[in-house]
């Protein structure tokens, strides 16, 4: 091993060891509970369990970790639990943008300000899907067809990300859609395959099996640029072959859903720093890359001021849509 | 018979020493989680899931599905012995299983339950083997209107069912619907009926309600009515296990009908819970000894158990071929499939033949392993009935409290469970039926969602429930079941109020 690589290695160690003062300041002394705000098998549950496995495999902490599902009330159960556990640094809540979106449109007994933000770790993309044998080939076709009749758009939950996006499509495309809420993206995908809906806006992982199986196909992705190519999903196409919605004339440049990690409120900065550092270490592992690729998400890491800025912007945007729809609760 | 060849290939994969060992381990673990209320199959499977990440997908699914079989069997044990359903789908088993066990025949009750359960599972697997591709198409035909129609059919098979006054059934249903409405509403996204209790946003968990209503409620009644200081003097007789199983073929009509209901509900995916209730309700109406149901009738055990297992087994089919889980446990397993790098969906049958057929073959073998193991444990479980009431009663309270708490580590659930215990007691004292209440708690919100989704689709027109043959048949069938008792009563009015003999009943059926 040459001198340079030794130097690089020690530099890498130094980078990893960067937050050591924080580590020294606080270490968990008892088992840690991961609260997934979704049922077993859902996207949020998957990420909590993936993080748990990585931490256990690399022994990133000495303490055992258990994953608990608190999926009731579209995840509100988990957040309310987090709020009630104020000051307890042994409860880590895994959620989505629900944490700040739900309190805006529904009378739930928590707000994201009751929790301590740790990080946004992955972004799920949204695509516009139609049934495989639909005559619609592009987003342009879709808007034309939707303008003539009443189109049925399915999605997971009411006044949640899927419905917000649906309302944005209505506005951008000057069409009217009938939104029908189901319990989950998986259920929505099956309804589209059965021809009971005209379209939905599922995340890649929610419909990949259906696309591969030839029951539905994506028209376009709500992202500023095409997704990374990756492996082919069908015989001829992969995620990278799906055009962006903006390039097809449906002018919504970006719409994403972050996977978020929180601590209860009133924890010390040291305790928060420990978990921020822990999540950073998780993200550096090959297993994490593997998880991101398998679920077709985008790897990101927002924390501190950046995360805060992201939340504020998203809230601003949602308040606009929700205000127009008359969803705001007060 | 392409499928047959594939199946034989599957057997070659499933019947190996390591896989058989996995099945035994899985089944035993499953019986354990099934017997302990509140733990249940979905939780058990998700606890075991991380252990399987290093395994071959086939081995992993064999372990998990064996655990699922074990839990389905184990769930019946506490329902029959202590009136505490360990699994939501074994509630209907308590209606006749518990009276029979209290009557000093726990061995017969358990052996009958296990035997008919195995029959149901077998029919479910055969269906999966031969009709996989056709069944996938049937499930796709189910939109919100069809879902509502299936739930409607399940409710209709209960209203006006003999025993309780129809108006009391309706009251019980209405209370159940109100309880099901607590929490966040899927269609509007708003919070309902939480009465200022923040935690209620999660809704009322089914296990919490059932353990209170049945376990604690029964205990209160027992304490009041007579002091059961004496244990039930049940003779433990090995031969009775085989005799009970041997008597099953006499009830072949009930077995076949229940298996059909179970398969149908498993595929569509109404789920095992709705299947067992519906099967019980229909058996009560059409069985010759229907009026004795609830007092320890053999067919009252056969019907829900067969349907439960037929549904539980066939629920795996939509998961494999469509990627829709037919039950909560199937949903957890589907999460596992994705982690092992398999995508459930139509292509699984093409891309992963070894996996799919290995799994299907393991269903045959796993169920045989499971039924042998549970039949061996019957005398052990039956012996529990000999323990005096003064010891068993506190144990039941402990099981219920721990079970309620472990649902989501919440004290509120324990308080609610005890509250439901009082409700269960009052229902019993005032002769209100518990079954419709429980049914409404389980599928009430699903039925409501489906109805409102249909209304959104049709822009408020009820015509959507008569839009195609499938949904029309289901709705008409439901209405017919609903009106049946009324018509029977009218028919009886026109006659002399003579005690109905078999002959008049047969004639009444002809009228309808």
pLDDT in tens, B135-155: 667 777 888 998 899 888 888
Smallest Cβ–Cβ distance between A158 and the set B49, B188, B459 belongs to B188
Give B357's contacts (C-beta < 8 A, 6+ positions apart). B6, B7, B9, B10, B13
Q: Which helix (H) or strand (E) holds A125?
A: strand A115-125
Query: How far is A67 from A65, CA to CA, in rounded Å?
Result: 7
Which residue in the block uniquely carries the two structure tokens 């290093």?
B54
Strand-pair category, A115-125 with A256-264: antiparallel
Query: How far is B384 from B101, CA to CA, in rounded Å?
Result: 11
Smallest Cβ–Cβ distance between B201 and the set A80, A294, A295 belongs to A80
Of residues A43 and B432, more confidently modeled: B432
pLDDT for position B384: 80
Name the packing angle between helices B353-383 and B57-82 (round to 10°).
Answer: 30
Token digits of residue B465: 């429930």
Q: How far does the CA of residue B431 sit from the closest CA of chain A (Å)?
A: 33
Smallest Cβ–Cβ distance between B184 and the set A69, A73, A208 belongs to A73
Q: How far does the CA of residue B420 sit from the closest CA of chain A (Å)?
A: 20
Check: complex ipTM more than 0.90: no
- Flag the least confident range among A11-20, A142-151, B75-84, B297-306: A11-20
> Does residue A11 register a pLDDT over 50?
no
CB burial class (10 A; 0-12, 13-18, 19+) of residue B222? middle
Nearest CA in chain B to A103: B190
> Does residue A198 register a pLDDT over 90?
yes
Q: How far does the CA of residue A308 sit from the closest CA of chain B (Å)?
A: 26
Smallest Cβ–Cβ distance between B184 and the set A76, A195, A214 belongs to A76
> Does residue B501 register a pLDDT over 60?
no
Interface test with B, best of A75, A190, A295 (most B CBs within 10 A): A190
**Binary contact (B199, A180; C-beta < 8 A):** no
> Does residue B497 register a pLDDT over 70?
no
Query: How far is A117 from B403, CA to CA, in rounded Å?
Result: 33
A268 touches chain B (CB under 8 A): no
Average pLDDT, chain A: 87
**Binary contact (A190, B322; C-beta < 8 A):** yes
Average pLDDT, chain B: 82
Q: Which helix (H) or strand (E) holds A220?
A: strand A216-221
> Does residue B505 register a pLDDT over 50?
no
pLDDT for position A330: 66
Q: Which of A42-46, A319-323, B137-141, B221-225 has the highest mean pLDDT?
A: A319-323
Q: How far does the CA of residue A9 sit from the closest CA of chain B (Å)?
A: 30
pLDDT for position B83: 86
Give bridge partners of residue A34 from the DSSP assignment. A67, A92
Give chain A positions within 8 Å (CB) of B203: 72-73
Query: How far is A101 from A109, CA to CA, in rounded Å?
Result: 13
> Does residue B424 register a pLDDT over 90?
yes
Query: How far is A56 from B456, CA to CA, in rounded Å?
Result: 47
pLDDT for position B227: 53
pLDDT for position B324: 62
Residue A95's closest CA among A69, A114, A64? A69
Give chain A positions within 8 Å (CB) of B324: 186-187, 190
Q: Which helix (H) or strand (E) holds A188?
A: helix A185-193
Helix (H, G, I), strand (E, B) or coil at B36: coil
Residue B11's closest CA among B495, B312, B364, B256? B364
Helix (H, G, I), strand (E, B) or coil at A13: helix
Give B190's contacts (C-beta < 8 A, 6+ positions apart). A106, A107, B184
A207 touches chain B (CB under 8 A): no
Give chain A positions within 8 Å (CB) of B187: 158, 181
**Binary contact (A76, B46; C-beta < 8 A):** no
> Does residue B232 register a pLDDT over 80?
no
- 8 A C-beta contact, residue A75 and residue B186: no
User: For the CA atoms of chain B, what is the radius of gyration?
Assistant: 22
pLDDT for position B266: 81
pLDDT for position B485: 74
Q: Could you count the other beta carbons within 10 Å of the beta carbon of residue A37? A: 31
Query: How far is A134 from B436, CA to CA, in rounded Å?
Result: 43
Average pLDDT over residues B62-81: 86
Q: How far does the CA of residue A306 sit from the closest CA of chain B (Å)?
A: 29
Which residue in the block uniquely carries the two structure tokens 């319990």?
A183
Smallest Cβ–Cβ distance between A210 and the set B141, B323, B339 belongs to B323
Query: How far is B22 from B61, CA to CA, in rounded Å?
Result: 10
Nearest CA in chain A to B140: A194
Strand-pair category, A216-221 with A298-302: unpaired
Q: How far does the CA of residue A323 sit from the closest CA of chain B (Å)?
A: 16
- 8 A C-beta contact, residue B81 and residue B384: yes
> Does residue B67 register a pLDDT over 70?
yes
pLDDT for position A304: 93
- 8 A C-beta contact, residue A231 and residue A238: yes
A254 touches chain B (CB under 8 A): no
Nearest CA in chain B to A185: B324
Smallest Cβ–Cβ distance between A190 and the set B201, B324, B457 belongs to B324
pLDDT for position A306: 94
Helix (H, G, I), strand (E, B) or coil at B371: helix
- 8 A C-beta contact, residue A70 and residue B203: no
Q: How far does the CA of residue B395 sit from the closest CA of chain A (Å)?
A: 26
pTM of the model: 0.82
Number of residues in chain A: 330
> Does residue A291 register a pLDDT over 50?
yes
Query: How far is B24 from B460, CA to CA, in rounded Å?
Result: 53
Between residues 146 and 165 of chain A, which touch chain B (CB distance below 8 Å)?
150, 152, 157-160
> Does residue B349 register a pLDDT over 90?
no
- pLDDT, tens only, A201-248: 999 888 887 888 788 999 999 999 998 887 888 889 999 999 999 999
Kindly compute the dihedral angle of the four CA atoms of residues B435, B438, B444, B446, in this order, to the nearest 10 degrees: -110
> Does residue B512 register a pLDDT over 80?
no
Interface test with A, best of B51, B343, B356 (most A CBs within 10 A): B343
Give bridge partners of residue A128 from the DSSP assignment. A220
Give chain A positions within 8 Å (CB) of B140: 190, 193-195
Q: Which helix (H) or strand (E) holds B477?
A: helix B469-494
**Binary contact (B332, A53; C-beta < 8 A):** no
**Binary contact (B457, A212; C-beta < 8 A):** no
> Does residue B381 register a pLDDT over 80?
yes
- 8 A C-beta contact, residue B353 and residue B11: no
pLDDT for position A14: 45
pLDDT for position B158: 74
**Binary contact (A41, B334; C-beta < 8 A):** yes
Q: How far does the CA of residue A32 sit from the closest CA of chain B (Å)?
A: 14
How distant, in Å, are the alpha carbons of B98, B255, B280, B292 from that of B298?
11, 11, 12, 10
**Binary contact (A77, B49; C-beta < 8 A):** no
């Amino acid at each position: 091993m040459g001198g340079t690589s030794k130097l690089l290695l020690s530099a890498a160690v130094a980078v990893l060891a960067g937050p050591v003062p924080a580590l020294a300041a606080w270490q968990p002394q008892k088992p840690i509970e991961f609260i997934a705000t979704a049922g077993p098998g859902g996207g949020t549950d998957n990420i909590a369990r993936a993080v748990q496995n990585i931490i256990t495999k690399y022994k990133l902490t000495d303490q055992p970790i258990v994953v608990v599902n608190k999926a009731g009330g579209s995840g509100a159960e988990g957040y309310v639990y987090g709020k009630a556990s104020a000051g307890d640094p042994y409860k880590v809540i895994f959620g989505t943008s629900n944490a700040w979106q739900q309190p805006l449109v529904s009378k739930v007994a928590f707000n994201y300000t009751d929790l301590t933000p740790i990080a946004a770790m992955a972004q799920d993309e949204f695509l516009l899907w139609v049934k495989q044998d639909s005559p619609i080939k592009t987003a342009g076709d879709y808007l034309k067809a939707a303008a003539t009749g009443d189109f049925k758009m399915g999605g997971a939950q009411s006044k949640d990300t899927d419905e917000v996006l649906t309302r944005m499509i209505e506005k951008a495309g000057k069409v009217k859609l009938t939104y029908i809420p189901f319990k989950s993206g998986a259920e929505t995908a099956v309804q589209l395959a059965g021809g009971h809906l005209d379209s939905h806006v599922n995340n890649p992982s929610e419909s990949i099996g259906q696309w591969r199986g030839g029951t539905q196909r994506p028209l376009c992705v709500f992202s500023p640029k095409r997704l990374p190519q990756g492996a082919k999903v069908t015989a001829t196409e992969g995620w990278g072959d799906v055009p962006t919605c903006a390039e097809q004339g449906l002018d919504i440049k970006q719409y994403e859903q972050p996977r978020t990690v929180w601590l209860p409120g009133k924890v010390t900065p040291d305790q928060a720093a420990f978990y921020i550092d822990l999540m950073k270490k998780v993200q550096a592992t090959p297993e994490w890359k593997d998880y991101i690729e398998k679920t077709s998400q985008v790897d990101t890491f927002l924390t501190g001021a950046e995360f805060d800025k992201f939340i504020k912007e998203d809230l601003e945007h949602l308040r606009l849509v929700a205000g127009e729809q008359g969803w705001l609760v007060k | 018979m392409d499928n047959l060849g594939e199946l034989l290939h599957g057997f070659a994969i499933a019947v190996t020493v390591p896989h058989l060992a996995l099945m035994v381990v899985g089944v035993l673990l499953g019986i354990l989680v099934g017997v302990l209320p509140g733990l249940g199959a979905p939780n058990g499977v998700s606890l075991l899931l991380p252990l399987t990440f290093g395994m071959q997908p086939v081995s992993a699914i064999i372990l998990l599905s064996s655990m699922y079989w074990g839990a389905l069997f184990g769930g019946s044990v506490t329902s029959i012995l202590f009136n505490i359903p360990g699994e939501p789908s074994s509630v209907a088993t308590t209606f006749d299983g518990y009276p029979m066990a209290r009557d000093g025949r726990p061995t017969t009750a358990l052996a009958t339950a296990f035997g008919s359960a195995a029959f149901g599972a077998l029919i479910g697997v055969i269906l999966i083997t031969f009709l996989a591709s056709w069944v996938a198409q049937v499930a796709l035909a189910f939109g919100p209107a069809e879902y509502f129609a299936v739930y409607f059919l399940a409710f209709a098979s209960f209203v006006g069912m003999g025993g309780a006054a129809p108006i009391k059934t309706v009251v019980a249903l209405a209370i159940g619907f109100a309880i099901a409405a607590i929490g966040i509403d899927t269609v509007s996204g708003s919070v309902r009926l939480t009465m200022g209790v923040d935690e209620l946003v999660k809704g009322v968990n089914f296990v919490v309600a059932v353990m209170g209503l049945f376990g604690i409620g029964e205990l209160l009644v027992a304490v009041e009515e007579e002091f059961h200081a004496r244990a039930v003097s049940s003779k433990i007789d090995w031969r009775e296990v085989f005799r009970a199983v041997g008597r099953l073929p006499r009830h072949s009509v009930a077995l076949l009908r229940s298996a059909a209901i179970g398969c149908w509900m498993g595929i569509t995916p109404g789920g095992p819970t709705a299947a067992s209730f519906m099967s019980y309700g229909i058996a009560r109406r059409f069985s010759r000894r229907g009026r004795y149901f609830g007092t320890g009738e053999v067919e009252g055990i056969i019907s829900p158990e067969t349907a439960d297992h037929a549904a539980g087994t066939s629920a795996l089919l939509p998961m494999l071929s469509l990627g829709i889980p037919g039950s909560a446990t199937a949903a957890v397993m589907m999460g596992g499939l994705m982690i092992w790098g398999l995508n459930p969906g139509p292509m699984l049958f093409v891309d992963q033949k070894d996996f799919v057929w290995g799994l299907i073959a393991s269903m045959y073998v796993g169920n045989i392993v499971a039924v042998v193991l549970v039949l061996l444990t019957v005398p052990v479980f039956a012996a529990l009935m000999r323990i005096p009431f003064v010891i068993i009663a506190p144990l039941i309270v402990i099981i219920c409290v721990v079970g309620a708490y472990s649902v989501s580590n919440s004290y509120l659930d324990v308080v609610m469970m005890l509250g439901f215990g009082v409700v269960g007691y009052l229902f019993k004292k005032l002769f209100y039926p518990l079954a419709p209440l429980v049914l409404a708690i389980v599928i009430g919100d699903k039925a409501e969602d489906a109805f409102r989704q249909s209304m959104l689709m049709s822009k408020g027109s009820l015509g959507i429930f008569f839009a195609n043959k499938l949904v029309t048949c289901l709705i008409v069938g439901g209405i017919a079941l609903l009106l049946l008792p009324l018509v029977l009563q009218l028919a009886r009015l026109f006659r002399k109020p003579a005690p109905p003999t078999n002959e008049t009943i047969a004639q009444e059926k002809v009228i309808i």
